Amino acid sequence: MIKAAKTILALFALGAIAVVVGCGGVPGNAVAEVDGNTIDKSTFDHWLNIAARSSGQPNAVVPDPPNYEKCVAQKRKTTPKPAKGQPKVTDDQLKKQCEQEYKSLKDQVVQLLISYEWIKGEAEAQGVKVTDAEVQKSFEDQKKQSFPKDADYEKFLKDTGQTQEDILTRVRLDLLSNKIREKVVKGKGNVSDADIQKFYDQNKERFAQPEKRDLLVVLTKKEAQAQKAKKAIEGGQPWAKVAKKYSIDEASKAQGGKLPGQAKGTLEKSLDEGVFSADKGQLIGPVKTQFGYYVFKVTKITPASQQTLEQAKTTIRETVKSQNEQKALESFVNNFRKRWKEKTECREGYVIADCKNAPKGKASPTPSATQPPQ
C-alpha cells in the first residue's frame, strides 16, 4: 500500500466516499454521508491536499476555488514563455486549467473517501476484521520494501502531505478488502470431475495441436533468382550458402535457411498449400507468393495431436476454478455497488456517480475505483 501510494493512480486505487452538506439531511460540515457516517469537509480538504501534492507536477498547489488566484500564480511561474510570434497564455486560460484540475481532484478524492466507507461498512456487515498486529506487520513489510531508509519514508510523508496514520488507514482498508474478497470466493474454486469433463468436451479445439513442419527456404524477389537458387541446391551446394546468396528473408537467412515449426494454416495461402502437400525431403519451387518466390524443402513433419483429458486435467481445473471465482466476484461487486450507492448521499458540488442523488445517466467511474474486493 505504501509503495502504491507513490503514484496518483495508486492513491485512488480503492475509490472514494462523499459527504453532503445541507441537502437531503447531510450534516452541514460534511461533503457526503454513507449509511449515517459523515465525511467532514476537513477530511476532504486533507486528502485533496495529498492528491494535489501526489500528482507528479512540480511545485503543485491545491487549486483554490472560486478565483484560483494561487493556482493561476503558480501556473504562471511554470508556464514557458511563448515562442516568437505566438500569443501569451492568458490568466483566463490558466484559470480554466485550474478549474479542470480541481474538478478532477475533487471527484477522485470524494470517490476515494466513499469507497473507504463502503469497505469499512461491508467488512462490519460480514464480520470481517483486521487486527492492529496484522496492520502493523503489513505496514512494516511494505515500508521496508519501498523505503529501505527511514529518511526516505519521512521524506515521502513530507512530500505527499500524508501522516503515518493516513498510511495505516490505507493498509487496514487494503487488508479488509482482501479478506472480503477471500470470503466471497471461498468454496467457489471447488471443481468436480464432471465440471472438468464438460469443459474438455466443449473446448476440445483448445487442446489440439495442428500439424507442423520444419522447412528450409529461400525467398527471392524474382522468379529467375529462385530458379538459380533451386539449381544451386540441386547441384549440391549447401542450403545455408544458397540462402545467404539469394534469400531476401533475413530471419531464415540468418539461420541458414531454416524455418522451423510452421503450423498448417499460418503461412501465406499458396505457400501453405505447397508446404503441406509436399513430401518430406522433396525440393519444391519456385512458389509465387505476395512476398516473392519461394524454394523450399520439408525437413521434418510433426503430426497433428489431441491432448487427452488426463493430460489437460490440471490446466482445466485451474481455468474453471478461476472462472468460478471471477463469476462470484462479479456477482458480489454488482450487488455491493448497488447496496452501498443507495446508502450514499452527496452534497451539491460533490456529487459523483457513486452517490444515490447523482443525475440519472451520469457515467459510472472505472470499476476498480469502487470494487475493493477485486
Q: Strand, helix or coil at 359?
A: coil
Q: Report if residue 314 sits inside a domain.
A: no
Same domain assignment for residues 136 and 270: no
Q: In what order do the strands lie in the sheet with 283-289?
A: 258-263, 212-220, 292-302, 283-289
Q: Report if residue 310 sits inside a domain.
A: no
For the beta carbon of residue 149, count every other beta carbon within 10 angstroms: 8
HEC letters along 103-171: HHHHHHHHHHHHHHHHHHHHHHHHCCCCCHHHHHHHHHHHHHHHCCCHHHHHHHHHHHCCCHHHHHHHH
pLDDT at res. 62: 84
Same domain assignment for residues 49 and 169: yes
Same domain assignment for residues 131 and 231: no
Same domain assignment for residues 91 and 222: no
Q: Report if residue 316 sits inside a domain.
A: no
Measured CA to CA, the distance from residue 190 to residue 95 in angstroms comes to 57
Contact 300, 277 (CB under 8 A): no
pLDDT at res. 57: 67
Q: Report if residue 58 sits inside a domain.
A: yes
Measured CA to CA, the distance from residue 30 to residue 40 in angstroms comes to 4
257-268 mean pLDDT = 92
Q: Report if residue 352 sits inside a domain.
A: yes
**Residue range 191-206, pLDDT digits in tens:** 999 999 999 999 999 9
Closest-CA residue to 372 (of 15, 12, 47): 15
* Unique residue bearing C-alpha cell 457516517: 37
Contact 281, 300 (CB under 8 A): no
Q: Report if residue 309 sits inside a domain.
A: no
DSSP designation for 19: B
Measured CA to CA, the distance from residue 330 to residue 317 in angstroms comes to 20
Same domain assignment for residues 53 and 175: yes
Same domain assignment for residues 253 and 333: no
**Residue range 60-69, pLDDT digits in tens:** 778 889 999 9
39-57 mean pLDDT = 89
Same domain assignment for residues 285 and 331: no
Sort strands 212-220 and 208-209 into parallel, antiparallel or unpaired: unpaired
Domain boundary among 262, 288, 303: 303
Higher pLDDT, 33 or 370: 33
First to last CA, the chain: 15
Domain boundary among 253, 268, 303: 303
* Unique residue bearing C-alpha cell 502504491: 4
**Residue range 70-80, pLDDT digits in tens:** 999 988 988 88
pLDDT at res. 59: 66
Question: What rounded mean pLDDT belongs to the chain?
Answer: 87
Number of separate domains in the chain: 2
Of 142-146, 300-304, 369-373, the least confident: 369-373
Domain limits at 27? 4-187+326-370
Does pLDDT of 133 surpass 70? yes
Q: Report if residue 226 sits inside a domain.
A: yes
Crossing angle of the two packed helices 150-160 and 41-53, in degrees rounded to 10? 120
Domain boundary among 258, 288, 303: 303
Same domain assignment for residues 116 and 38: yes
Same domain assignment for residues 240 and 150: no
Same domain assignment for residues 103 and 219: no
Of 42-46, 107-111, 341-345, 363-367, the least confident: 363-367
**Residue range 141-171, pLDDT digits in tens:** 999 999 999 999 999 999 899 999 999 999 9
Same domain assignment for residues 143 and 31: yes
Same domain assignment for residues 92 and 145: yes
Q: Report if residue 201 sits inside a domain.
A: no
